[in-house]
Amino acid sequence: MCGIVGYIGNEEAVPVLLNGLKRLEYRGYDSAGIAVLGQAGLLVRKSKGALPSLEDKIASETGQGGLNAVMGIGHTRWATHGEPSDINSHPHTDVSGKIAVVHNGIIENHAKLKAWLEAHGVVFRSETDTEVVAHLIDFHYNGDLLQAVTEALKRLEGSYALGIICESDPDRIIAVRKESPLVVGAGQGENLIASDVPALLEHTRDVYYLADREIAVLYRDRVEFFNEDGQSLQKEKSHVDWDAEAAEKGGYEHFMLKEINEQPKALTDTLRARLKNEGGTSINLEEIGFDASWAEARRVVIAACGTAWHAGVIGKHAFEYFAQIPADAEIASEYRYRNPLSDPKDIFIIISQSGETADTLAAMRMARKAGARIIAITNVVGSTLAREADLVMYTWAGPEIAVASTKAFTTQLMCVYLIALQFGMLRGVIAKNELTSHIEALEQLSGHATRILSAQENIQRFASRQFNKTKVFFMGRLFDYAVSLESALKLKEVSYTHSEAFAAGELKHGPIALVDTSTLVVAICTQTALFDKMDSNIKEVKARGAAALVITYDGVDYFDKTADEVFRIPRTEDSLTPILSVIPCQLYAYYCAVQRGLDPDKPRNLAKSVTVE
Ligand code: AGP
């Protein structure tokens, strides 16, 4: 996720901005830039890569790292629209180079705005969605930057945190946010903005938290606030007591917990980026090059590793269910050494959070050799996977820092569902009205996830009683079995508990021999037609002394008598439940790790990106 800083005061701005950006490095980024206003007017410096390359660029010019300016804005970019490059890095400016903008978020209607601005003679330089903001402000600029910003905001759809400076209005920074974070730091004779508190702490602990659509105007000696219509607002100052490390985690104890809690937003961002509203809401994959020809496939093969493979297993079910097309989910490290019978009419979907996993890339290259067409689902713009695939669908999860994947998984699922539904539409399996109701169900998932997260203390309490269990088995059927696989992996990874996943019907074919009084069985029960089967399986493990936690829908009392504890999730379509039912399991893994005194963010022996075999 991008990082924003802004400074107006009496110090040389460049080191202040670079230092602030360093404090935001934990958010992940692929390029960085600053714009400062000083004696030489508006100067913009940006560079692909880590902050030292930007520092070197500035130092090679000035020799001492300053540009004689006491105000400016800075940005670390996590690429979304357009590859990491000097040109796509922020700040972006208007055509004349007098207005500079840094942005975090997604301007959803950027394509329309771009076409409109181009029709007014604007020539774009970058591939970013952000550049439209600079041109739009310039379009409305009539000597008053604040007014130009409020006018421009009326045209923007999507999410944004923005920092804006203007050469002809040199004594203030304008900042505004909607659905992306931005804090204002109130110092002595200096004021700052930042995406997150750590970037402010060296200057001040007094902050203002902006609400959606609130505008802050920062002068050296004061900050003024306005609503989106330009009316003045009074805001309460808050004092930050956290240390810098806690602040990086947004007040959460660990990145893993932060990322679990970021899922509602990540789901909304991933979904919104792929919907269009033209005579009713529909799925927009044309933008990424997915046309009707893709749906002529003979079979869909999904290849991935670890958590991403679990998303693939759910994808297999989704393709069979929504699109009635044969589908397989392949473990990439196995696939690459088999002699698979693939056909040029197969479509490969390769899933990888990092886009750099060695086995996954090898599987993709094999598929490519066999003549198959390839769709990548990844979280990293410009990754090897993104570059080599025919078509890329990005997850909008933002950088995932904890080694254990959480928000990347649920956003991968969102992508898989969207592709499966679009396949279903193009193959004539899903009628228009059915698609509308599936999309509505997808839109509700973010709110449902928020509700699950609001009850996380229940899982925490359960974990505090059960964390010492030496054997934890997850079981379910169909979609619930796939979630069991992911849940068992999560628990293994972060709490080092021996956990396994079983297809519930397989229990009596062997695994039940392991069940005794030391076993906890988590039964995921969201496949309504199979409730009675699951109930029998729970009774079987209970009869052998196991404790049973059931995860099922709100309002379902079917398992109340059988289970020791029931955790409920909001009702959705049975085929979409994985996005929800995995959340309590992620939380359970997290809280077990914490109870065991482990650091869930850095599990032993594991790496975030497995780039070697
Ligand atoms: C999940 O928690 C993992 N740490 C791991 O299984 C991961 O999903 C796997 O290594 C694949 O990574 P990728 O998504 O970056 O390809």
Q: In terms of Cα–Cα distance, which of 326, 404, 314, 320 is closest to 351?
A: 314
Asked if 577 and 563 touch (Cβ cutoff 8 Å), the reply is no
Q: Which atom of ligand 1 is nearest to the CA of 405?
A: 2
Q: Give the model's pLDDT for residue 63.
A: 65
Q: Give the model's pLDDT for residue 120.
A: 94
Residue 314 sits in a domain of what CATH number? Answer: 3.40.50.10490
Q: Name the percent of the chain lying above pLDDT 90.
A: 80
Q: Which of 59-73, 117-131, 587-601 has the lowest mean pLDDT?
A: 59-73
Distance from C-alpha of 501 to C-alpha of 452, rounded to nearest angstrom:
22
Any atom of ligand 1 within 6 Å of the Cβ of 306: yes
> What positions carry a catalytic annotation?
2, 608
Q: Give the model's pLDDT for residue 445.
A: 98
Q: Which atom of ligand 1 is nearest to the CA of 412?
A: 14
Tell me which of 259, 302, 305 to substitute to probe ligand 1's pocket, judged by most ligand atoms within 8 Å of the beta carbon: 305
Q: What share of the chain is helix, strand, coil (3-state, %, to 5)?
A: 40, 25, 35
* DSSP conformational letter for 289: T
Specify whether 240 is located in the same domain as 294.
no
Q: Above 70 in pLDDT, residue 247? A: no
Per-residue b/e over 454-477, b at no fewer than 16 CB within 10 Å? eebeebeebbeebbebebbbbbbb
Backbone angles phi, psi at 304, to 5 degrees: -170, 180
Residue 111 lies in a domain: yes
Q: Which of 18-32, 292-306, 350-364 has the lowest mean pLDDT?
A: 18-32
Domain closes at, from 222, 247, 272: 247
Q: Above 80 in pLDDT, residue 600? A: yes
Specify whether 368 is located in the same domain as 428.
yes
From the number of C-beta atoms within 10 Å of its C-beta (0-12, 13-18, 19+), residue 608 rates as middle
Q: Give the model's pLDDT for residue 65.
A: 55
Neighbour tally for 264: CB within 10 Å = 20
User: Is the bond preceding 91 in cis, omega lying within 30 degrees of 0?
Assistant: yes
Any atom of ligand 1 within 6 Å of the Cβ of 357: yes
Q: How confident is the model at residue 384 (pLDDT cuts 50, 70, 90)?
A: confident
CA of 366 to the centre of ligand 1 (A): 20
Give the mean model confidence (pLDDT) for residues 22-36: 88
Residues 6+ apart with CB under 8 A from 91: 33, 34, 35, 44, 46, 73, 74, 75, 100, 101, 102
Give the mean model confidence (pLDDT) for residues 388-393: 95
Distance from C-alpha of 4 to C-alpha of 109, rounded to nearest angstrom:
22
Residue 600 lies in a domain: no
Specify whether 431 is located in the same domain as 577.
no
Backbone angles phi, psi at 222, to 5 degrees: -165, 165
Neighbour tally for 597: CB within 10 Å = 6
Specify whether 326 is located in the same domain as 210.
no
Q: Give the model's pLDDT for residue 287.
A: 85
Place of tokens 């771009």: 114
Give the mean model confidence (pLDDT) for residues 250-267: 93
Residue 605 lies in a domain: no
Among 101-110, 289-298, 408-417, the range of highest mean pLDDT? 408-417
Distance from C-alpha of 30 to C-alpha of 593, rounded to nearest angstrom:
31
Q: Which atom of ligand 1 is nearest to the CA of 406?
A: 2
Distance of CA 612 to the CA centre of its chain: 25
Specify whether 290 is located in the same domain as 179.
no
Q: How confident is the model at residue 60 (pLDDT cuts 50, 70, 90)?
A: confident
Q: Name the percent of the chain lying above pLDDT 70.
A: 98
Specify whether 303 is located in the same domain as 425.
yes
Specify whether 204 is located in the same domain as 268.
no
Any atom of ligand 1 within 6 Å of the Cβ of 405: yes
Q: Give the model's pLDDT for residue 235.
A: 93
Domain count, the chain: 3
Asked if 225 and 233 touch (Cβ cutoff 8 Å), the reply is yes
Residue 99 sits in a domain of what CATH number? Answer: 3.60.20.10
Distance from C-alpha of 157 to C-alpha of 153, rounded to nearest angstrom:
8
Domain closes at, from 229, 247, 265: 247
**pLDDT greater at residue 67 or residue 160:** 160
Length of the chain measured in residues: 613
Any atom of ligand 1 within 6 Å of the Cβ of 93: no
CA of 412 to the centre of ligand 1 (A): 12
Tell me which of 357, 383, 394 to substitute to probe ligand 1's pocket, judged by most ligand atoms within 8 Å of the beta carbon: 357
Specify whether 183 is located in the same domain as 157.
yes
Q: How would you classify the pairing of strands 391-394 and 373-378?
A: parallel
Q: Which atom of ligand 1 is nearest to the CA of 489?
A: 2
Any atom of ligand 1 within 6 Å of the Cβ of 362: no
Neighbour tally for 60: CB within 10 Å = 8
Tell me which of 350, 353, 486 to substitute to probe ligand 1's pocket, judged by most ligand atoms within 8 Å of the beta carbon: 353
From the number of C-beta atoms within 10 Å of its C-beta (0-12, 13-18, 19+), residue 444 rates as middle
Specify whether 180 is located in the same domain as 234.
yes
Give the mean model confidence (pLDDT) for residues 320-346: 93
Question: What is the average pLDDT score of the chain?
Answer: 93
* 3-state secondary structure at position 36: strand
Give the mean model confidence (pLDDT) for residues 467-474: 94
Q: Give the model's pLDDT for residue 64.
A: 59
Q: Above 70 in pLDDT, residue 612? A: no
Q: Which domain holds residue 580?
A: 456-595
Q: How would you classify the pairing of strands 281-283 and 275-277?
A: antiparallel
Any atom of ligand 1 within 6 Å of the Cβ of 383: no
Tell me which of 610, 612, 613 to substitute to probe ligand 1's pocket, judged by most ligand atoms within 8 Å of the beta carbon: 610
CA of 123 to the centre of ligand 1 (A): 41
CA of 256 to the centre of ligand 1 (A): 14
Distance from C-alpha of 575 to C-alpha of 475, rounded to nearest angstrom:
17
Q: Give the model's pLDDT for residue 106.
A: 87
Q: What angle do CA 191, 192, 193 make, to 5 degrees?
A: 145
Any atom of ligand 1 within 6 Å of the Cβ of 404: yes
CA of 305 to the centre of ligand 1 (A): 6
Q: Above 90 in pLDDT, residue 239? A: no
Specify whether 15 is located in the same domain as 77.
yes
Q: How would you classify the pairing of strands 299-304 and 327-331?
A: parallel
Q: In terms of Cα–Cα distance, which of 150, 118, 111, 112 is closest to 135?
A: 118
Residue 359 lies in a domain: yes
CA of 4 to the centre of ligand 1 (A): 28
Going from the C-alpha of 353 to that of each of 395, 399, 400, 581, the distances in angstroms are 8, 9, 8, 20
Residue 611 lies in a domain: no
Give the mean model confidence (pLDDT) for residues 552-564: 95
Specify whether 190 is located in the same domain as 338.
no
Any atom of ligand 1 within 6 Å of the Cβ of 305: yes
Q: How confident is the model at residue 279 (pLDDT cuts 50, 70, 90)?
A: confident
From the number of C-beta atoms within 10 Å of its C-beta (0-12, 13-18, 19+), residue 235 rates as middle
Q: Give the model's pLDDT for residue 353.
A: 94
Any atom of ligand 1 within 6 Å of the Cβ of 609: yes
CA of 613 to the centre of ligand 1 (A): 13
Any atom of ligand 1 within 6 Å of the Cβ of 50: no
Specify whether 442 is located in the same domain as 465.
no
Give the mean model confidence (pLDDT) for residues 69-84: 90
Asked if 491 and 589 touch (Cβ cutoff 8 Å), the reply is yes
Domain closes at, from 449, 481, 497: 449
Distance from C-alpha of 131 to C-alpha of 396, rounded to nearest angstrom:
19
Q: Which atom of ligand 1 is nearest to the CA of 603?
A: 4
Q: What is the pLDDT of residues 480-504, one digit of tens each?
A: 999 999 999 999 999 999 999 999 9
**What strands lie across the sheet with 299-304, from one edge to the other?**
327-331, 299-304, 346-352, 373-378, 391-394
CA of 587 to the centre of ligand 1 (A): 18
Residue 333 lies in a domain: yes
Any atom of ligand 1 within 6 Å of the Cβ of 353: yes
- Nearest Cα residue to atom 8 of ligand 1: 307
Q: Quick one: tokens of 447? A: 């709110």
CA of 595 to the centre of ligand 1 (A): 24
Any atom of ligand 1 within 6 Å of the Cβ of 581: no
**pLDDT greater at residue 20 or residue 609:** 20
Q: How confident is the model at residue 94 (pLDDT cuts 50, 70, 90)?
A: very high
Q: How confident is the model at residue 557 (pLDDT cuts 50, 70, 90)?
A: very high
Q: Which of 26-35, 452-461, 573-582 has the lowest mean pLDDT?
A: 26-35
Any atom of ligand 1 within 6 Å of the Cβ of 487: no
